[in-house]
């Protein structure tokens, strides 16, 4: 089989990322040479590739589903929002400026050439490329500059399958409306539909699917059921909902639970770091935005941030900063990751307004770009214009560890014992007893280190009945999630019809839909 496919969605978070991962896993298990592709992603969840570039974490997850290492070719344009009006642009893995929504519009013509070239290269090297759209093709106000949905489909001659999330309600209207608002040329690219997150009796939905086919001339290839066990590697940090419990907590291995509070910053970055903790039996991980939620926490985690100075100001404004400090000074553990690590220090200097600005961070601009941290670590950080990317390895507490680094902040002083020992890594971690931190993302995915951390947290928090489970493998749980996605595709989608779309494209002669009321008086 040879070909390509674009999976578009009726909305953001309709299930594009997981459907692409599932199709990739299904094909890879059949021995098909397959690769993922997302022309343009907007997310603060990212990873570092083996060749030193930065791509969206969803594409790294999809690459794993294919049995591949992450590559910048899988996500040539990444937008990382730093505020409601501006985003950092990463092109072919490297930072290429900061844009507003309006200024980015002018750059898209050149970027279409970039993404088209990367996709063409993948199609030469792989039998099948499964592409993921961005947002929704129904955003017709953006169609003129689109490089990820119908603009890409037209440029690369791709058939399109549209997925809708029935759990939101109104999915039949979403699918019909998405098709109907497109012009005739774009409609001709839409081959079929998929419905995601279905709960209930399929027989009750069937008449609606028949009517949808009658109205559009397009079949629904399948109805993918809701999967309670599916949660690892969420596409967007916005899925980290405040006060929600992460994952599916299993009963404790010992007699007591550990309670973890992850501060949900407004510009949280790589929120997926906490997923490894949530995989552990007896560990309940919750995202929090209120000081009261820290009162019963055994461990407080300050995760990464795309706007460290602004999120530190938010931490103070909400009262969370005082709550974190009170927690730490009582000898109860706090763990900071990347931006959260930087906040734990004495001072942060951002002289070039890399992650702060006079508009978003007046405190830093008033003092030459310098703000006081929480003062829980003897640490000083300066933000450089150049972003540091890396895939370091070393040891922590005698355990071998690997991670990845994505940060502008550079440690210029640390008076605490180092958390990590890594050749050439510099001071990228601090261990001050109850308060520890690191610039390394992915550190918690190392099973031995994670178990050591949980044992230490239990001791510091007085949870003598908590015992770390001896055999939890985060990598195995992630692969189990990908296998679950592959199973869902194989069992609930018409795979023969899907194969035909991938190999042969959109059937000719599909009707153009204008309105269900077309021709009515």
| Coil, helix or strand at residue 62 | helix
Q: Which of 203, 187, 271 is nearest to 234 (CA)?
A: 271
Q: Tokens 């750059």 label which residue?
A: 107
Per-residue DSSP letter, 418: B
Burial of 215 per CB tally in 10 Å (0-12, 13-18, 19+): middle
75 neighbors 68 (Cβ within 8 angstroms): no
Q: Which of 278, 275, 277, 324 is nearest to 302 (CA)?
A: 324
Of 174, 327, 407, 441, the active-site residue reads 441
Cα–Cα distance, 259 to 273 (Å, whole number): 16
Question: Is 439 one of the catalytic residues?
Answer: no
- Listed in sequence order, the residues at least 6 apart from 24 whose beta carbon sits closer than 8 Å to its beta carbon are 34, 35, 36, 62, 65, 66, 130
Phi, psi torsion values for 253, nearest 5 degrees: -70, -30
Q: Which two tokens stand for residue 384?
A: 């450089």
Cα–Cα distance, 279 to 292 (Å, whole number): 25
361 neighbors 326 (Cβ within 8 angstroms): no
Query: What's the full length of the chain, in residues?
Result: 521
Q: Which two tokens stand for residue 433?
A: 């007893």
Of 338, 408, 439, 492, the active-site residue reads 338
Question: Is 388 one of the catalytic residues?
Answer: no
Cα–Cα distance, 367 to 448 (Å, whole number): 43
Q: Which two tokens stand for residue 403?
A: 């991670």
Cα–Cα distance, 273 to 160 (Å, whole number): 33
Catalytic sites, residue numbers: 338, 441
């Amino acid at each position: 089989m040879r070909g390509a496919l674009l999976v578009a969605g009726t909305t953001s978070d309709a299930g594009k990322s997981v459907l692409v991962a599932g199709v990739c896993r299904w094909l890879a298990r059949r021995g098909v040479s397959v690769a993922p592709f997302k022309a343009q992603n907007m997310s603060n969840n990212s990873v570092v590739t083996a060749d030193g570039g930065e791509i969206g974490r969803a594409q790294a997850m999809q690459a794993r589903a294919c049995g591949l290492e992450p590559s910048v070719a899988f996500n040539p344009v990444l937008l990382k929002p730093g505020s409601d009006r501006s985003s950092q642009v990463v092109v072919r893995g490297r930072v290429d400026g900061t844009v507003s929504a309006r200024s980015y519009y002018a750059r898209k013509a050149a970027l279409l050439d970039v993404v088209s070239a990367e996709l063409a290269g993948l199609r030469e090297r792989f039998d099948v490329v499964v592409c993921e759209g961005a947002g929704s093709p129904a955003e017709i106000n953006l169609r003129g500059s689109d490089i990820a949905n119908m603009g890409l489909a037209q440029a690369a001659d791709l058939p399109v399958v549209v997925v809708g999330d029935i759990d939101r309600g109104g999915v039949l209207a979403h699918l019909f409306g998405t098709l109907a608002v497109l012009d005739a040329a774009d409609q001709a690219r839409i081959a079929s539909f998929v419905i995601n997150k279905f709960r209930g009796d399929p027989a009750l939905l069937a008449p609606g699917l028949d009517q949808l086919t009658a109205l559009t001339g397009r079949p629904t290839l399948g109805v993918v059921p809701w999967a309670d066990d599916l949660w690892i590697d969420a596409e967007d940090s916005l899925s980290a909902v405040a006060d929600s419990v992460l994952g599916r907590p299993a009963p404790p291995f010992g007699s007591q639970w550990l309670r973890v509070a992850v501060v949900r910053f407004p510009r949280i970055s790589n929120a997926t770091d906490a997923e490894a903790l949530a995989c552990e039996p007896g560990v309940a991980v919750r995202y929090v935005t209120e000081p009261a939620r820290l009162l019963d926490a055994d461990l407080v985690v300050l995760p990464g941030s795309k706007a460290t100075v602004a999120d530190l100001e938010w931490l103070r404004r909400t009262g969370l900063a005082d709550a974190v400090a009170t927690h730490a000074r009582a000898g109860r553990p706090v763990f900071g990751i990347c931006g959260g690590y930087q906040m734990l220090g004495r001072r942060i200097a951002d002289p070039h307004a890399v992650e702060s600005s006079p508009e978003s961070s007046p405190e830093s601009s008033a003092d030459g770009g310098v703000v006081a941290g929480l003062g829980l670590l003897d640490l000083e950080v300066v933000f450089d214009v150049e972003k540091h990317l890396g895939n370091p390895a070393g040891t922590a507490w005698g355990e071998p560890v690997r991670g990845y680094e994505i940060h502008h902040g550079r440690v210029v002083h640390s008076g605490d014992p180092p958390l990590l020992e890594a050749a050439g890594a510099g001071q990228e971690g601090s261990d001050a007893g109850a308060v520890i931190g690191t610039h390394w993302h992915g550190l918690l995915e190392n099973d031995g280190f994670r178990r050591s951390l949980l044992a230490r947290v239990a001791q510091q928090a007085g949870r003598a009945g908590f015992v770390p489970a001896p055999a939890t493998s985060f990598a195995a749980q992630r692969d189990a999630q990908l296998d679950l996605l592959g199973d869902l595709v194989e069992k609930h989608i018409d795979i023969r019809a899907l194969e035909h779309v991938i190999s042969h494209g959109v059937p000719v002669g599909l009707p153009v839909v204008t309105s269900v009321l077309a021709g009515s008086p």
